């Protein structure tokens, strides 16, 4: 019972991270039909920023702000340099570009920081925990879960109450008609990239707080999980991305708990297999959404 | 070039989708306060003309001057912000958003205070936008959706309202409602360019008419000067000028 509760908290915390990554991926996909593989490198950018600032003695609050800011700035640079000219490109062109951008960024990290893992000097409170009954709970997990809930709430308000938020939603549904409302296409793209960058930065904070060292390829695994979460939930829908993130985490934690230790090296393979079965059953994801190819600008 | 009082003047407009020439060398002029109707058979190029005016259809030639400003090379959002509004064919409401949210987007450039003022001013003319404000737009009937779409376009107080087949697919009694709304807008001196299949009704409400056939201007003149015979000839593309 206690163990189950502990696993439940683990899964919620891991699911929060996956949900944040999946949300960041889904925002760009829903509006631009862009599968941004470089989302992982946005997270890595935040990771290296965290490493550098903490290593040079910054206050952790400032380091956190710097990490999120770095990820947002990187997202804006990607928009401007790599994707702005490709708004009406074929899906395959977009896919190849996003792949190339991801590899290019990893090379830049490699040249700048080398291949050796950089240990992030996390503040001590990250390891703090408390006990309920015989169960030990990490404050970090509680913080991740609560902050993620607050972010989802804030994002929902933003998308419902502000004009740019409404426009981001309507653009995902019908881009042309959104422009017909006088909404600037550039504002939509920049808005989407800023949101995506922010989500990548926050997800990176949580991710590197649980895995406190960063290498050039650090972002790949969480990015992959985020994409799988999106696909399981249903590509292009934000609520689906959140559900997909939690589902993936529960699959992972559940398989790990239920299977014997002999299987742990194959955990990812097992989880992906389950994901494939889900997609065989519902090819559009659990909340299968319709996708239309239409001109963006 | 542009005559005095013309709010929109179109000179030599052509629209091509690859090898399909949807509009060829169209000249057109609309004066302030006028209600102008654009007629033509299916595929004549009516929607392409409206879409080209707001920069959504690919223009392959021509010049557009709106309210004294050359808008030929402007992006859609800049054209809309300079005072044009289009109610597109098929209404194109954001179906999974509420009626109120649809209206808010129609006034994207306005502040919340301005929006609330304009919205309240419109609610008497379009009671549906008050009564069903918080329902999903996609759940409304076709006629209700059309009213929301027109209200959405009017929110920014456009200098020229483009309506693309507002009666399309609606029951006859609802069509009456829509034409009453257009008549009311005309009384309020809103400048309108109306595309319609229902030629008879459209001509009865309009000041002037243009008729397209296969992308070419076939006929133009005062609405009263166009009768069934001249119209039929024009639809078939037998050139004649009233
Ligand atoms: N996006 C597009 N791509 C290719 N061809 C198009 C496109 N839109 C319209 N056309 C073609 O351009 C021509 C004019 O179409 P348009 O929609 O402007 O006509 P319309 O007068 O509005 O017709 P309807 O009364 O059916 O709405 C048609 O031959 C149509 O097939
Ligand atoms: Mg049409």
Tell me the C-alpha distance between A214 and A120, whole Å.
Answer: 7
- Residue A194: CB atoms within 10 A of its CB come to 17
**How far is ligand 1, taken at its centre, from the CA of residue A180, in Å?**
19
In this structure, are B73 and B174 located in the same domain?
A: yes
Mutation site, A169, A181, A190, interface B, largest B CB count within 10 A: A181
In angstroms, the first-to-last Cα distance of chain A is 55
Contacts of A185 in chain B (CB under 8 A): 75-77
**Residue in A26, A24, A77 with CA at minimum distance from that of residue A201:** A24
pLDDT per residue, tens digit, chain A (297 aa), is 778 888 999 999 999 999 999 999 999 998 888 899 999 999 999 999 999 999 999 999 999 999 999 999 999 999 999 998 888 888 889 889 999 999 999 999 999 999 999 999 999 888 899 988 888 899 999 999 999 999 999 999 999 999 999 999 999 989 999 999 999 999 999 999 999 999 999 999 999 999 999 999 999 999 999 999 998 888 878 999 999 999 999 999 988 888 877 777 888 888 888 888 888 888 778 776 555 555 555
Q: Which residues 6+ apart lie within 8 Å of A254 measured at CB?
A: A7, A11
User: Residue A82 gets which letter from DSSP?
Assistant: I
CATH code, domain with B225:
3.40.50.300
User: Residue B134 gets which letter from DSSP?
Assistant: T
User: Residue B196 gets which letter from DSSP?
Assistant: -
Contact A183 B105 (CB under 8 A): yes
Catalogue the long-range contacts made by A103-112 (C-beta closer than 8 Å, 24 or more residues apart).
A105/A38, A105/A41, A105/A44, A105/A45, A106/A41, A106/A44, A106/A216, A106/A217, A107/A216, A109/A41, A109/A44, A109/A48, A109/A216, A110/A216, A112/A48
Joined tokens for residue B173:
């009694």
Q: Which residue of A has its CA nearest to B85?
A: A180
Please report whether residue A190 resides in a domain. yes
Please report whether residue A284 resides in a domain. no
Tell me the C-alpha distance between B210 and B46, whole Å.
Answer: 10
Please report whether residue A282 resides in a domain. no
pLDDT tens-digit readout, A136-186: 899 999 999 999 999 999 999 999 999 999 999 999 989 999 999 999 999
In this structure, are B79 and B166 located in the same domain?
A: yes
Please report whether residue B1 resides in a domain. no
Which helix (H) or strand (E) segment holds residue A151: the answer is helix A139-161
Query: Pick from B157, B192, B208: which residue ends a domain?
Result: B157
Query: Pick from B110, B137, B157: which residue ends a domain?
Result: B157
In this structure, are B184 and B226 located in the same domain?
A: yes
Tell me the C-alpha distance between B155 and B117, whole Å.
Answer: 10
In this structure, are B219 and B110 located in the same domain?
A: no
Contact B92 A177 (CB under 8 A): yes
In this structure, are B99 and B138 located in the same domain?
A: yes
Of B46, B52, B194, the one to substitute when testing ligand 1's pocket (max ligand atoms within 8 A of C-beta) is B46
Residue B17 near ligand 1, beta carbon < 6 Å = yes
In this structure, are B13 and B120 located in the same domain?
A: no
Which residue range(s) make up the domain with B224? 6-83+158-241
In this structure, are B20 and B70 located in the same domain?
A: yes
Please report whether residue B68 resides in a domain. yes
Residue B145 near ligand 1, beta carbon < 6 Å = no
Using only C-alpha atoms, chain B has a radius of gyration, in whole angstroms, of 17
In this structure, are B56 and B99 located in the same domain?
A: no
Residue B22 near ligand 1, beta carbon < 6 Å = yes
Residue B169 near ligand 1, beta carbon < 6 Å = no
Bridge partners of B211?
Answer: B39, B219
CB-count burial class (<10 Å; 0-12, 13-18, 19+) for B218: buried
Are A287 and A233 in contact by the 8 Å Cβ rule? The answer is: yes
Instruction: Give me the number of domains chain B comprises.
Output: 2
Please report whether residue B111 resides in a domain. yes
Whether residue B80 lies within 8 A of chain A, CB to CB, comes out as yes
Instruction: Give me the number of domains chain A comprises.
Output: 1
Contact B94 A173 (CB under 8 A): yes
| Angle subtended at Cα A166 by Cα A164 and Cα A168, rounded to the nearest 5 degrees | 70
Contact B56 A180 (CB under 8 A): yes
DSSP string, A152-168: HHHHHHHHHHSHHHHHH
In this structure, are B106 and B133 located in the same domain?
A: yes
Which residue range(s) make up the domain with A10? 2-218
pLDDT tens-digit readout, B76-124: 999 999 999 999 999 999 999 999 999 999 999 899 999 999 999 999 9
Residue B45 near ligand 1, beta carbon < 6 Å = yes
């Amino acid at each position: 019972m206690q163990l189950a509760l502990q696993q439940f908290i683990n899964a919620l915390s891991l699911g929060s991270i996956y949900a944040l990554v999946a949300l960041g991926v889904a925002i760009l996909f829903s509006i631009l039909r862009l599968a941004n593989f470089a989302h992982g490198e946005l997270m890595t950018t935040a990771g290296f920023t965290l490493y550098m600032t903490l290593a040079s003695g910054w206050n952790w609050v400032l380091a956190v702000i710097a990490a999120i800011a770095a990820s947002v700035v990187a997202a804006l640079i990607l928009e401007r340099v790599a994707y702005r000219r490709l708004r009406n490109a074929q899906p395959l062109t977009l896919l190849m570009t996003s792949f190339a951008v991801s590899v290019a960024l990893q090379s830049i990290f490699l040249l700048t920081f080398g291949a050796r893992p950089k240990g992030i000097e996390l503040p001590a409170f990250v390891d703090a925990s408390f006990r309920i009954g015989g169960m030990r709970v990490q404050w970090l997990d509680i913080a991740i879960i609560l902050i993620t809930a607050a972010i989802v709430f804030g994002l929902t308000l933003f998308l419902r109450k502000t004009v740019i938020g409404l426009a981001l939603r309507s653009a995902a549904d019908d881009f042309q008609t959104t422009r017909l409302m006088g909404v600037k296409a550039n504002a939509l793209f920049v808005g989407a990239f800023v949101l995506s960058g922010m989500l990548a930065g926050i997800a990176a904070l949580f991710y590197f707080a649980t895995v406190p060292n960063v290498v050039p390829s650090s972002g790949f695994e969480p990015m992959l999980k985020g994409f799988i979460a999106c696909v399981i939930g249903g590509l292009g829908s934000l609520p689906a991305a959140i559900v997909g993130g939690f589902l993936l985490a529960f699959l992972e934690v559940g398989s790990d708990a239920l299977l014997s230790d002999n299987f742990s090296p194959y955990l990812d393979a097992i989880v992906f297999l389950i994901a494939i079965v889900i997609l065989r059953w519902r090819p559009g994801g659990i909340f299968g959404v319709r996708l239309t190819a239409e001109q963006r600008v | 070039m542009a005559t005095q009082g013309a709010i929109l003047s179109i000179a030599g407009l052509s629209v091509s989708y690859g090898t399909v020439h949807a509009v060829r060398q169209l000249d057109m002029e609309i004066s302030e306060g006028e209600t102008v109707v654009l007629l033509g058979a299916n595929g004549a190029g009516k929607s392409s003309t409206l879409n080209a005016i707001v920069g959504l259809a690919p223009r392959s030639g021509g010049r557009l001057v709106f309210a004294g400003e050359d808008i030929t090379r402007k992006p859609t959002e800049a054209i809309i912000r300079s005072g044009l509004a289009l109610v597109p064919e098929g209404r194109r409401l954001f179906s999974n958003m509420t009626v109120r949210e649809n209206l808010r987007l129609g006034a994207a450039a306005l502040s919340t205070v301005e929006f609330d003022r304009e919205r309240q001013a419109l609610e008497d003319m379009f009671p549906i936008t008050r009564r069903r404000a918080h329902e999903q737009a996609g759940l409304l009937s076709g006629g209700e959706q059309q009213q929301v779409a027109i209200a959405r376009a009017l929110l920014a107080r456009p200098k020229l309202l483009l309506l693309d087949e507002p009666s399309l697919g609606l029951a006859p009694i609802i069509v009456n409602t829509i034409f009453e709304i257009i008549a009311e807008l005309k009384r309020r001196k809103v400048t309108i360019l109306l595309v319609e299949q229902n030629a008879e009704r459209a001509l009865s409400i309009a000041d002037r008419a243009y008729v397209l056939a296969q992308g070419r201007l076939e006929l133009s003149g005062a609405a009263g000067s166009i009768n069934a015979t001249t119209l039929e000839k024009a639809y078939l593309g037998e050139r004649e000028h009233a």
